[in-house]
Structure formats: C-alpha cells, structure tokens
Amino acid sequence: MSRDGQYPEILVSESPTLAPVPGESRHNPTETTLQRKVFYLVDSLNVGGTEVQAVELAIRLNPERYNVTLGCLRARGPLLERLQGSSVSVREFYPKGGFDSVHGIYQMFRLAMFLRRGRFQIVHTHDLYANVLGIPAAAIARVPVIISSQRDLGHLDLYKSGRRVWLRRLQKLSTAVLTNANAVREAVLAEDHFAPEKVRVIHNGVDLESFSQRSSGRAWLLPDADQERWIVLVGNMHGDVKGHAVLIAAAETVVREFPDVRFLFAGDGERRKEFEEQVARIGLAKNFSFLGRRNDVPRILSCCDIGVLPSQAEGLPNAVLEYLAAGLPTVASRVGGNVEIIHEGKTGLLVLPDEPSALAVALVRLLRDPGFAAELGKNGRSFVSAEFSFERMIEKTDQMYTELLQSRDVETNLEPNHSSAGWKRVYRRVRSMGVAEVTDRLRQYATARLDWVRYKVGSDFFPEISTVPQGQPRFFFSPEDVPHLCSRLRELFPETAEQIVRRAERICEHRFDLLGYEAVDYGTEIDWHCDRVHGKLAPRKPWFNLKYLDFDLVGDSKVTWELNRHKHLVTLAKAFRLTGDAKFASEIFAQWHHWHSENPYPIGINWASSLEVAFRSLSWLWTYFLMADSPAMPTGFRRSWLRALAVSGRHIESYLSTYFSPNTHLLGEAVALFFIGTLCPEIPASRRWQERGWKIVQQEATRQVRSDGLHFEQSAYYHVYALDFFLHCAILASVNHVEVPKEFDRTLEKMLDALAALARGGIVPGFGDDDGGRLFDPARNRMIHMTDPLATGAVLFGRGDFKDMAGGPREETLWLLGDAGIHEFERIPAKAVPDASAVFRASGLYVMAGDSRKWQLMIDAGPQGAHTAGHGHADALSLTLTASGRELLSDAGTFEYVGPDSERDRFRGTSAHNTLMVGGVDQAPPRGPFGWDRLPDVQAEGWISGKTFDLFVGSHDGYSRLPNPAIHRRFVLGLRSGLILVRDLVLGFGEYPVDIFWHLGHGLTEQAPDLFFGGGAGLRFMTVDGHGWSRSVEEHFHSPVYGVKQAHKALHFATRTKLPAEFVTLLIPVSTAKRSDDNFVKIPAQSASSGSCIGYRYRTGGNEHCFFFAQGAPWKMDAWSTDAEVLYFGRSADAPQVSLLCCNATSVEWEGKKIVSARKPVLRCEVIGNPAAVVSSDPDAVTVDTQAWMTLVNSSQVPVKVI
C-alpha cells in the first residue's frame, strides 16, 4: 500500500508473482493420493506476523493430504524465498485502485472464477484485506468451507460504524472466524455478536529450532559493542501500535542507570524518521540502532539480552513468542494475547500500555538482576516449546478443517480420475452449460438431422413467396442511382474502377483472388467444394458430419469458404455496370445457377458455417440491387433469388452461433438476418428475421465492444471486421426508418475513436488474428486498409478528425451514403489529431505517441482474447512501433488456421512477437487452432502520462506454470522526443533460457550494427554495454494477410541464467541511416545508500539521458538523492533543452540541492527547460527550487562513474 493507505496507481517493485495452473502444484502425488484443496489469502509476502504464520502453515501441512495454493494481494516480499522448493503454488490478486474500484471488483470476480474452476474445498483468509477480497469471492464461487480471520485488536479502530457493519456482514458469509488469542475472540464476540461456536482460537506457532542457538559474537551486527547490554524491539513502524515511542521515552530513565545499554529496533515503516528524530531530541542517538527490515531475526535475537514489546494493542504477537523461544527475558504490555503468553513473574513481565515509567522500571529490574532475568528466559522457552510449537498449530488446524468439512457434508477426498484430459474438458463444458444452452444445442442437433431426412425423401426447403407487395424496402442505393454512382466511381476512384474491371476479367476465367492468394485457378468448371490452393476436396455429405477444421479431409476451409462467399459476384456486377459488357452479367447468372445445382441444401461444406451462409446472403443482396434495373437480369430471377435467401435465412436462424461462437460469427449472422428480413418482405419470416437480427446486433454491440471502444477479440482486424458490420447495419436501419438507439450510435463512435487513436502512427498496428476477409471489398484486407471505416464515420458523425485520419473518401462511402455522403465528406473541415497518448484500459492497450505524430508505440497488456481467446496470440506485453505510416516493430500476423505443416502455432506463438520468452515455451500452451490450455493473467500495473513522457509497467504470469514459476515484468518509458526505454525483468527462481525478440518491419535491413532502415524510416537498438547476452539477426516470417508470409529480420537476444534476470533495450526511431557515436551504460551502485535503485546513462553527440528505477524507498545514486520510483534527467549538448521527471516522489535532490519537494508522494512531476516550466499531477503539492534548478542547468555535466 502507498503511504496514504491506498493502492497507488503505479508500484515499481520487482517481486515475482508465482502462479501455477489452478489445481496444480510442484508436489505431484500419485493418482490414488487423496487431497483436500485449500486456498489461503494474505495481504503480501513481506515479513510480518500474519504472513509468516500463513506461509509456515501452508508449507508444513502434509502435502499428501493437502493441496495448498497461497493467494496474495501483492505476491512480493522476502517470504517468497521461504516458499521455494515447497509444494505450495502462489497466485496474485491485486485490487489496484482499492477494493471498491473497477479493478478491485474485477479481481474479486477473477478470484471467484479461479476458486470455482479449481474446485477448492476450503478458503482461509488470514487478515483484514484478505477478508475483504476473499470472503465474497469464495461465497460467489460456492466454496464449501470459508474461514475468515481476526488476528489482532489493533485494527478495531478501522472497524467502527459503517466499516464495522460491512466487515461483520462479510464475516457472516464465512463458516468460521478464526482468531489467534482468547482476548481477540472475546473482543470479536462482544463487538459482532457471532454465535460462540463460530469464533475459534488457534494460537500462533513458532519455529523452535530457528531460535535454539545463542550467538558467539556480536561484531557481525554492530562492531565494538560486545560490552553493551542489548534490548530489542521487533515490530513494524507503520504506526504507534508497537510502542516504539513509549520505549524511547522510557530509555532516558534506563540509560541514566545503565549508560552502556543499547536499544535495537528491527523493523521499518513510515514512522521511522519520526522515531529517529525523537531519539535525537533526547540525546540518545548512540544508544539506539535502527536495523531496518530484517530477514535474520533469529540471529539478532541470539545476540540480545532482553526482548520488549510495549504494544498498545495485540492479537497473539509473534515477536513475544520469538523472544521466549530465543530464551530472552521479556517485557510486554498487558494487552490482547500477551497475557496468554506472559505469565507475570514466571515467563516474563507485564506493564500497562502507554506507560514509559512502568516500562522503565521493568527493564531496570531485569538489568539489575541477571539471575532473575535468566530464570524468566528459561521458563519462557519451556512454555513456548510446550504450548506454541508449529506442530501443535498444524494439528489444531487440521482438526478444524476436518470438523468444518464434515459439518458441511463435503467429500474431503478427491476421487481418482483416470479419464482422458479431453473427456474431462467435455465433462466440465457440459456441466457449465445452462438449461437454455443445453436446450438450444439439442434443438439444433435434432433440426439438422430432420433436415437430412427431408432431403433424402425429396422434400424441398423453399417457403411460399408472397406475390403481394409488402412495402418498398430500400437498399443503400436505389436501382436508378446505380448509373450515376458508377459515373462518380470512375471520376473519384479511377484506379479502383480499373481494378474492378481487371478482377472481373480474371473471374470470368475462373481465377479468383481469395484472402491473400491471388489468381487461384479453378479451371473450366468450378468445384465449389474444393480448396484449390492445397488441392483438397471436401466430401459431399451432410454439413453437420463434416469436420471442417480437418485439413487432411477438407484442406483449409477458409479458402473454400472465401470463394463461396460470392464477393466476386458483386465485383462482376460492378464491372458490368461500369462497362456495360454483357459477359460479366452472363457470368453472374451462370455461376449462380451452377452453384445451386452443386450445393443442394443441406449437403456439403458450404452449409457447415452459419457465418459463411450469412456472408453469401449479403453478397447476393448486393449483387441483386446492383443489377435490379438491368435488362441483363433473367426473367423470374427475383423469385429464385428470394427462395434462395429464404433457405439461407432459415438456416442462419436455426443455427445461430449463440453458444457455439458468440463473437463476430453471431454478429455476422444477425446482420444477415436483419438485411434479409428488411429487404425481402415477400418471405413469410422476414419480419421476425428483421426484428430478431436487429435485436441481436444491438445486444452484441453492448456485449462485444468493451467500454473503451475496442472489440473484445483482442485483434485489430476483428475490431474493423465488427465495426463494418455495425456501420452497414446502422445505415440500412436508418434508410428504412428503423430506429437506431442513441446508445448504439455511441458505441459506433467509440469504436471509430479507438480506430483513429490506433492509426495515429499512419497505419493501424496489427495484433491478434487477421481473418483475411472484409464485408465490402475483400481486396482491401491489409492493415493499410483498416482505416476505411473512418471515412464513412466522418460523414455519419461529422468528425473532422476521422476525415484527417482517413485521408480521403472511400469507394465504400460512395455506395453506402451516395453522392450526398461524398459531398458531406468534402464539406467537413479536416481536424488535425493531437499528439496524444491513448489508454484502452478495458482492453489493456496502451499507446505512446511521439511529438508531431513521428512515431507511435502500442503495448498489449490486455487479456489474450474473449472466451477461449481463439483469435488472440500469446503476445502478452508485446510492443508494436510505427513511424510515418511504416511498421518498425511488427506483429507476426496469422498466415493460416490449418495447413499441411501448420504454422498456426508459430505465428501466434510468443517468439513471433516483440516480447520475452522463458524456458523456450509460449506464454500460453496452444490447444488446437482456436484454443489454449491456460491463459496468462496479464496485469497493467501502472500507467503515467505526462507532458514529455509516458510510463507503463505491466506483468503476466504465463510462465508460472513452469517447474520453478517465473513472472515477466516489463517497464516501458517513452519520451516524446524519441527515446523509448524497455526494461524487462524475469522474476522467480531456478535457471532458464530467456529470449527477447524484436521483429523488424518488412523491408527494414541492417545498415549498421543495431541500426535497421528502409523506405525512409528506421530503428536504432541500444543495449547496455557488457550485458552478456548473445545477439543474432535472424530471418523470421510475418504474414501481412491470410495465406501470405514474407521474410523479415528479427533481432534476437538470448541467455541462460539463474533468475531473477534483467535486460534493458533502448529503441530510437530514426529518419536517416546515419550511425551516431553513442554509448549506453549501467550506472554503478556506489554504496548501500543506492538501495534497490538501478540506473542507466545514454550519451550521444553530447546529449545525455539518465534513467533510474527504484522501489519507493529513499535512495542515493550518482549525484541524485530521492525517493522517486522512476526518475529521468536529460539535457542536450548546448543545454537549452533540459528536463527532469519523477514518479511517486516527495523530494529530488542533486548534489545536495533540493530541486523538487512535495508535501506528499506525487504521481508525476516534470521540470522542463530554462526557465523552469513545472508540470505535475498535483501542482498544489509540489515546490521547485528554481535556484537549485538553475545550478543544475548551468552545470557543465552531471558527474558519474560508469562501468
């Protein structure tokens, strides 16, 4: 937690989060071992009484009887080392922003899902914050036994009034409330009025062996102090509770009689400076030693003479137990569980709390009478050995778990399961279905087989078509508009018009452009069931018996389906209207009749996907309305066309992907239902289809589009794919006087806003799958075409910024909105898009922007995708970088879903993206072409955006499934001037190969070491001198469109190392291939005062840039002294451009001169230029000393030693 008690927006610490697959552990019992699944939740893994008890209990429970997962709000701290090698797995659930924030609520539901999937039988929360998050999550997950904890009385002030009522309500959801002292139990019963049997007591345990040895010397801790007598207080300094101030006040009396006594404080916290000042005021600095946070408490106690804990409130303090276990005579305050450990005059001495004089008397008594003190120490150790051992605590805990499980009639042993993993998944999937899903799937199953019977007995599927006019539905254009629109097409888009005719010529030769494949030759007679690219022919059998993802059986069904979407019929129709050449019209109707003769319903692969039927239906509608008033249309064609659409509409409605694929599949099917229902009123079901289709479209707009405006598939291509569906639907609804809700319009505009933001680098960066198809023009299927919807959106919403990003109108805009839409586009004044960064928190995308839109970097820190992440990639924390409309760092693309030697997994794998790989494996193990065995939990831990910089911090737990779990953590600091620092940390234990890949955009080649350039743009890579990793430039492949792969260069850094590991890369977009003379070095830690700070310096051409990263504690390095978590200082050679930025800081000093000071930690502060301009997240809290700043600005250089 931050200094004000709230979780800060960014925490820059480096502790790992260990998270194996739910239900797994590093202990692998045999299949017949019977285990109870237990989940513990604690605040953190820092050394504290509660945390130590929870960790020890988790480790010491019999692993053959218990499968324990330890959850943490923050999985960081020294106790992680204690867990190494144990059977306990660790998982983090960090409620960034507080428990009542959106992220906090998300974490609660995420924990609930984790518990549900893991089928835990016991959830045991160990402290206040764990109670708040864990109890409701366990209740939602319906965990049979929920145990909450109340471990001390120090939190009671937090529990007053409304807070107390709220916590009481939460604890009522638990099966039992566990306390660690009778005094705590009595207070809980008095305050909350729980039933007495609900509130249990199990005393803390202590590791007696750790405290069994006395030290033979003290010099290792404090030299020249052997003749002193040491009094120790172990406790945190976060508040007044532990009694530090009381002991300092008592020290004056003690020192007067025993001037050689020394008081040791082991612990740290926000009040430490205040206590140090209190000691200085009374002139006893030489009698006090502040040891800070320690991991060697047993060794420290072995050197001491007396233990003291004058707390104001306690539960059952570990510190007192440890004093007694170490054989120290002990003085404690008469509060809480102290009275259950200290028996006055036998195992120690008790004094009233907050009474320095009484405390001084007790300490002086022990110092005067060493024999009495030794007797107390001996008795205390004997008492603790008998009553407070870990073995006793584990025995009591096991008894409690057994009793509670039996009282809930829970089968505590897991039955051996010898079925295959596949059947397990099927079983779990069926169990997860609701009644509605089961009913719908059974209906679809039965309908498909009844249709097959109808086909076998010769029954057709064509309904009666009404001959009575049913109103005048309107397409995007009327038939009489077509000649004028074609004229405008030739005028506005002459190259497009020529391309349409050229493609139509090839289509007449049965050579088709399909996805990324060009001029695929289907011969004299088209076989509509054939994948000509791979030479595979799908069998002609009922569609529901076809395994369309079986490459050996059908080839790549996407190729076959792309042909059967009949987009080429629309191209033929446009070519005919542009040229008047009858051969194009003849080819349309010849193929139409041939297709129907070769694809009787319900036979063949072309009925296997409702989405493909939907696309084909939309193409038939476009073709008809382009040809409607043409004499080339055969007599009676409309009736044939309506009957075909009626069969297609019936199929779509019967087999909606409501549960099978509720993403763009369902959306596209609903769009087709709406179009058919609106434009074909003669079909009896048309009104129902129109209403149902429109309702689903609106529902999916709410469900599939996240609150930040991005589509939930986590794919740029699918975002545009869905946006096209929504735009076409909205326009058709409007021209047919179907009400378009304002909320739907807002969703459309949000999607367009998101697209415009992503395109600020001149091109939409690719991420996730690329489907290869488009709703309007299948030839516009590259990433450079993804801004097409912005042209239409500019007209619909009157947005000049959309116009600016689109660059001009599109052919699609002309057909959808007519000539009036083109005139409106030209009328709208273009509005330049600002050089602003963008955040899409719901989707986890963070976009950094350079000055004047020179470059744009996107960080993917979102979920891998919706549902099973079928179209997402294993690309957590991957970067893409664009500049001047060119990709500098690119995504791999898709290439294919299935293939002869399928490269699906390689293209969506981790090594194909600009991120880090551990252990030579992907962040998520693939399962089939559209599934994963385990999805990583990706966390955007912090985002700070200032005037001159952006800072991102994120992590993911994809590698927590490794034998020794590891966490990838990435820092990205982007300076708008054009430097991007990427700091990668791999946190955890053990030794692994670690790889970092940087995939260069197509056409970039290495012009000089680490300088890649091509087409007027390039990228410099700077790595820290002496990093020790191997470096190679390799040839990899990326796919610019489905079915095509191109070679590109990839810069690969690799090592095999013991974790934790670190690698830092500086990315520098450049506009020339000129190599500069520069260096990038690590700044050495000069003393212990550097703490956990790490610094780097980059110099080039006299310019200097310093980067520092720390963990929030005060640090000193080089000439700097601060408590900032991130600090940057940069200056140009002639010093007009000087800038300083700091994050989460209260002060910044340079060479002893305080430049920045703040009353409280400030999220960001920037000091820029000469004279200083100050930009801060909290201007009222920040003061900048302009004189100190001028001294820094005018200094010739910042002194530094480099290695």
* Averaged pLDDT score across all residues of the chain: 88
DSSP state of 926: B
CB of 1001 closer than 8 Å to CB of 887: yes
- 288 in helix, strand or coil? strand
Thinking of the domain 208-386, which architecture would CATH place it in? Answer: 3-Layer(aba) Sandwich (3.40)
Band (pLDDT 50/70/90 cuts) for residue 165 is low
pLDDT at 432: 63
Residues forming CATH 2.70.98.70 domain(s) in the chain: 834-1075
Tell me what the mean pLDDT of segment 1141-1154 comes to.
93
pLDDT for 425 equals 56
Residue 1199: pLDDT band with limits 50, 70, 90: very low
Which CATH number does 36-201 carry? 3.40.50.2000
Q: pLDDT band for position 416 (50/70/90)?
A: very low
pTM for this model (two decimals)? 0.69
* pLDDT greater at residue 337 or residue 995: 995
Read off the pLDDT band of 965 (50, 70, 90). confident
> pLDDT band for position 810 (50/70/90)?
very high
Closest among 1094, 1077, 1023, 1075 to 1052, alpha carbons compared: 1023
How many whole angstroms separate alpha carbon 88 and alpha carbon 92? 13
15 — pLDDT class (breaks 50, 70, 90): very low
CATH match for 834-1075 among 2.70.98.70, 3.30.420.40, 3.30.360.10, 3.40.50.300? 2.70.98.70
Q: What is the pLDDT of residue 1047?
A: 94
Q: Residue 32 above 50 pLDDT?
A: no
**Least trusted range by pLDDT, from 265-279, 418-432, 945-959:** 418-432
**Conformation bin of residue 869: beta by default, left when phi > 0, alpha when psi is -120 to 50:** left
What proportion of the chain, given as a percentage, has pLDDT over 70? 92
pLDDT value for 863:
87
List beta partners, residue 949.
Answer: 975
The token duo for 662 is: 């509720």
Amino acid at 697: V
Domain ranges in the chain with CATH number 3.40.50.2000: 36-201, 208-386
Lowest mean pLDDT among 377-391, 671-685, 872-886, 1077-1091: 1077-1091
pLDDT > 90 in the chain, percent:
65
Mean pLDDT over 232-246 rounds to 90
Instruction: Render pLDDT for 588-603 as a digit per residue (tens, 0 to 9).
Output: 999 999 999 999 999 9
Q: What is the pLDDT of residue 359?
A: 96
Whether 379 has a pLDDT exceeding 70, the answer reads: yes
- Residue at 251: amino acid letter: A
pLDDT of residue 1202: 30
Question: Per-residue pLDDT tens for 628-668?
Answer: 989 999 998 999 999 999 999 999 999 999 988 889 999 99
DSSP state for residue 932 in the 8-state scheme: B
| Residue 957: C-alpha distances to residues 846, 870, 915, 920, 1060 (Å) | 19, 19, 14, 15, 14
Q: Residue 421: pLDDT above 80?
A: no
Please provide the size of the chain in residues: 1203
Pair 1001, 886: CB distance under 8 Å:
yes
Burial annotation 356-383 (CB, 10 A radius, 16+ → b, else e): bebbbbbbbebbeeeeebeebbebbbeb
How far, in whole angstroms, is CA 89 from its chain's centroid? 20
Q: What is the SS3 assignment for 612?
A: helix
Q: Which of 209-223, 282-296, 346-360, 471-485 has the lowest mean pLDDT?
A: 209-223
Which residue intervals of 61-160 are DSSP H helices? 79-83, 102-118, 128-140
> Token pair 């291939």 is at which residue?
1073
CA distance 365 to 362: 5
Taking only the tens place, the pLDDT of each residue in 769-807 is 888 889 999 999 999 999 999 999 999 999 999 999 999
Q: Give the residue-averaged pLDDT of 237-252.
A: 92
Mean pLDDT (whole number) for 432-438: 79
256-315: per-residue pLDDT in tens? 999 999 999 999 988 999 999 999 999 999 999 999 988 889 999 999 999 999 998 887
CB 792 within 8 A of CB 757: no
pLDDT at residue 408 in the model: 76
- Ranking 152-161, 545-554, 605-614, 678-687 by mean pLDDT, the lowest is 152-161
The b-or-e profile of 571-597 (16+ CB within 10 A means b, else e) is bbbbbbbbeebeebbebbbebbeebee
Note the pLDDT of residue 122. Answer: 96
- In this prediction, residue 960 has a pLDDT band, given cuts at 50, 70 and 90, of confident
Distance CA 1010, CA 998 (A): 11
Q: Do residues 247 and 277 make contact, with C-beta atoms less than 8 angstroms apart?
A: no
Return d(Cα 247, Cα 528) in angstroms, integer: 89
pLDDT confidence of residue 189: 80
Average of per-residue pLDDT across 983-994? 92
Mean pLDDT of 489-494: 97
Q: Is the confidence at residue 78, as pLDDT, over 90?
A: no
Question: With 70 as the cut, is the pLDDT of residue 429 above it?
Answer: no
* pLDDT of 1087: 62
Of residues 133 and 75, more confidently modeled = 133
**pLDDT category of residue 75 using cuts at 50, 70 and 90:** confident
Cα(786)–Cα(795) distance, integer angstroms = 17
